[in-house]
A and B are shown apart, each in its own frame.
Chain A
C-alpha cells in the first residue's frame, strides 16, 4: 500500500515536474529570441562570452548559439540556406565584407537599430560602405627567433630581399594568399615594389625568388607559432597578437618587429546576415559597445578595438601600438579591400600558377 502511494506520488510529481519544465522552457523561449552567430574558435569564444553575449541576453532575454569556424565556413552555410539562413550574424575579415555584399548574403547596417555604431571610429566604418563595422584588429609584421636573427628586417622590402638572398636559410614562413593576412601583406609588398591592384607580377616575381627559402606558406594562423617555438623556422610574417600569446607561454626569445612602412590594416568585422533574425541587430549593437569591446580585449592583449571610447585593460595597453592608443593609426596602412576582394580570384590564379600550393 505504502509502495503504491509512493509510486503514485512519484508519478504525479514527475508529471507535474515535466509539465512545469515544458512550461518553463516555453516561457524561456517566449522570453527572448535566440540567434545563431558565427565565431572563431577558442579564446575568441571566451572573449564574446565575457561581454557581447551577456549584453545580448540582458537586452533581449534570448541567447546566442555560437557556431565556431572560419568566415568561409559561415558563408558556405549561409549560401546553402539563403532563404532561412543557418546563421543570423557573422564575423569576417575586411575582404569577406565586400565578397559577402557581392554575394547578396548580408544586409546594410540600420543605424536606428545600432546606436552604438555611432561611437565606432570612422576608419572602421567608412571603408565598408555601410555593410559592416570593424570590431578589432592586429598588426601584421615579422616574428623572429631573437637567438637566431639578431638584426630583424626594418622594412617589408628588406625582409623579402634578405629572404630571397637566403640570409635566413630555408627557415622562413610566409602567409598563403588564401589567408587574409597573406592577401594583405602580399598587396602591401606589391605596392612597395611598384605593382598595382591590376598587376601583382612584381610581388609574384619576388615571391618566386624567395620560394626556395620559404619552408611553407602558412594557411592556419596557428602554424607559425608551432614552427617558431619548435625551431622549424627562425622568422615568419605573422601577427603581433599571436606573437604575444607565444611569448606569454614562456617563449621570450620569440620577438615581433613592425617593418616600414607599417602594418596593413586588417580588421575583424561584424555583419548581419540577410533574412536572418532581426534580433541579430541587438547582438551587433552589443559588439559595438565600448565596454563589451574592452571585456573582449582582455583575452587579446595588444589587439586594437574600434570604439572611440574604448579603455584598454592594463595588460593590453602596454602591448598596444602607440598609434592605436592615440587613435592616429599612423603605423597602419589602409588596404583597398573592396577592389582587392574583387580581384582576389585573379591574384589567386597567378599565385597558384607561379608559386604553387
Chain B
C-alpha cells in the first residue's frame, strides 16, 4: 500500500523525465537536418564526434574542473556555517538561515547582473581597490573563470549548507562532550568525531552542488568569457545552430557524467556504511 503513494511521482517522472530522455536518446542517434538535409540512417556519429575528439573532451574536462572548484569552495565555506547553524541556540538562528538561503530568493538573471555591478571593470570592487591604492588598473574579475566560480559558489552554497546542517544536527552533542571530557581538543573532536559522522552529509552536499554546477547555464553565459566553454554552453550553441541531434548527444554525455557521480557516491557510502 505505501508503494501506491509513489504513483504520482512515478507517473510524473515517466512523463517528464523518462519519455523526454527516450526522445533525446533517439534524436542523438541521427544526424540533424542541417547536417544532412536528406535525412540520415541511425548512426553513432554524434557520439564518435563527442567522445573521439580532443576538443570536446577538453570541454568535458573543463566542465568537471568547474564542478570540482565550485564544490570544493562551497564545502570549505559552507561547513563552518552548517556546523554553527546546527549547534547554535541563538534566537537569531532564523536570521542566519534566511541569509543562507537569500541567494535563492533572487532571480538568477538579476543575481548575475548584481555580480556584474560588483565585479565589473568599473564595478564596486575594482573602484574600491583603486581608491585604496591597492591596484593601479582594474583587475579582471569578470568574463573569466573567477567570475563564474564566485557567482556559482554564491548561489549553490545554500544547497551545501542546508544538506550538511541537517546531518550535523543529527549528531548527538553528547559525543562531542564526551570526547572533550576525555581530553580531545577542538581540532581532534572535529577530525575524529564530527567529520566522520557527517560524511554522509558531505557526500550528499558534494553530489548536489557538483551536479547543479555542471548543469549551470545562465550564470556562465552572463559572467563567463570566451575561455569558459562548458558543456551546457556548447549544447546551447548547437541548438542555436539547429544541430539538435549533436546537442542531444552532448546532453547524454552530461547525463552520463551525473549518473557516474551518483553511482560513485552511492558506492563510497555503501562501503563506508558496511565498514
Chain A residues with CB under 8 A of B33: 102-103
Any A CB within 8 A of the CB of B257: no
Is B241 a contact of A348 with CB atoms below 8 Å? Answer: yes
Is A178 a contact of B242 with CB atoms below 8 Å? Answer: no
Those of B32-76 within 8 Å (CB) of chain A: 33-35, 37, 55
Partner of A353, one of B55, B116, B243: B55
Chain A interface residue count, Cβ-Cβ cutoff 8 angstroms: 29
Any B CB within 8 A of the CB of A81: no
Is A231 a contact of B121 with CB atoms below 8 Å? Answer: yes
A232 to B223, CA, bound (A): 12
Those of B113-133 within 8 Å (CB) of chain A: 116-117, 120-122
Chain A 67-100 per-residue mask, 1 if CB under 8 angstroms from chain B, else 0: 0000010011001000000000000000000010
A355 to B227, CA, bound (A): 8
Any B CB within 8 A of the CB of A274: no
Across the two chains, which residue of chain A brings its CB closest to B229? A357
* Distance between B128 CB and nearest chain A CB, rounded to angstroms: 15
Across the two chains, which residue of chain A brings its CB closest to B246? A345
Is A214 a contact of B55 with CB atoms below 8 Å? Answer: no
Chain B residues with CB under 8 A of A226: 116
Those of B121-173 within 8 Å (CB) of chain A: 121-122, 140, 142-143
Partner of B224, one of A344, A352, A357: A357
Those of B226-257 within 8 Å (CB) of chain A: 226-230, 233-234, 237, 239-244
Is A216 a contact of B225 with CB atoms below 8 Å? Answer: yes
Q: Report the tally of A-B residue pairs with Cβ distances under 8 A.
A: 73
- Contacts A216-B143, A230-B122, A345-B35; is A356 near B237 (CB within 8 Å)? no
Across the two chains, which residue of chain B brings its CB closest to A177? B237
Any A CB within 8 A of the CB of B97: no
- Contacts A178-B241, A356-B226, A357-B227; is A215 near B143 (CB within 8 Å)? yes
Chain A residues with CB under 8 A of B262: none
Any A CB within 8 A of the CB of B221: yes
Those of B63-120 within 8 Å (CB) of chain A: 116-117, 120
Across the two chains, which residue of chain A brings its CB closest to B236? A178
Any B CB within 8 A of the CB of A217: yes
At the interface, is chain B mostly helix, strand, loop or mixed? Answer: loop
Any B CB within 8 A of the CB of A242: no
* Distance between A19 CB and nearest chain B CB, rounded to angstroms: 38
A127 to B109, CA, bound (A): 39
A13 to B224, CA, bound (A): 62
Chain A residues with CB under 8 A of B242: 72, 75-76, 79, 99, 103
* Distance between A244 CB and nearest chain B CB, rounded to angstroms: 23
Is A352 a contact of B241 with CB atoms below 8 Å? Answer: no
* Distance between A106 CB and nearest chain B CB, rounded to angstroms: 14
- Contacts A171-B121, A352-B237; is A99 near B226 (CB within 8 Å)? no
Across the two chains, which residue of chain B brings its CB closest to A344? B241
Which of A72, A103, A215, A344 has the most chain B CB within a 10 Å cutoff?
Answer: A215
Across the two chains, which residue of chain B brings its CB closest to A171? B121
A230 to B138, CA, bound (A): 14
Chain A residues with CB under 8 A of B243: 345
Chain A residues with CB under 8 A of B229: 352, 356-357
Any B CB within 8 A of the CB of A291: no
Which of B120, B121, B229, B233 has the most chain A CB within a 10 Å cutoff?
Answer: B121
Is A232 a contact of B122 with CB atoms below 8 Å? Answer: yes
Any B CB within 8 A of the CB of A139: no
Is A215 a contact of B225 with CB atoms below 8 Å? Answer: yes
Across the two chains, which residue of chain B brings its CB closest to A217? B226
A208 to B253, CA, bound (A): 29
A222 to B244, CA, bound (A): 26
Which of A103, A348, A356 has the most chain B CB within a 10 Å cutoff?
Answer: A356
Is A345 a contact of B226 with CB atoms below 8 Å? Answer: no
Which of B55, B230, B234, B241 has the most chain A CB within a 10 Å cutoff?
Answer: B241
Which of A79, A211, A344, A345 has the most chain B CB within a 10 Å cutoff?
Answer: A345
Chain A 138-170 per-residue mask, 1 if CB under 8 angstroms from chain B, else 0: 000000000000000000000000000000001
Partner of A99, one of B34, B55, B140: B34
Chain A 214-237 per-residue mask, 1 if CB under 8 angstroms from chain B, else 0: 111101000000100011110000
Partner of A103, one of B34, B55, B120, B142: B34
Chain B residues with CB under 8 A of A171: 121
A340 to B244, CA, bound (A): 20
Is B228 a contact of A76 with CB atoms below 8 Å? Answer: no
A219 to B143, CA, bound (A): 13
- Contacts A103-B33, A231-B121; is A170 near B140 (CB within 8 Å)? yes
Chain B residues with CB under 8 A of A103: 33-34, 37, 242
A-B contact pairs, 23 of them (CB 8 A): A76-B244, A79-B242, A99-B34, A102-B33, A103-B33, A103-B34, A103-B242, A178-B237, A215-B143, A217-B226, A219-B221, A226-B116, A231-B120, A232-B116, A345-B34, A345-B35, A348-B237, A352-B55, A352-B237, A356-B229, A357-B224, A357-B225, A357-B233
A contacts, CB < 8 Å to B: 72, 75-76, 79, 99, 102-103, 170-171, 178, 211, 214-217, 219, 226, 230-233, 344-345, 348, 352-353, 355-357
5 additional contacts (CB under 8 A) given A102-B37, A356-B225: A216-B226, A230-B116, A231-B122, A353-B55, A357-B227
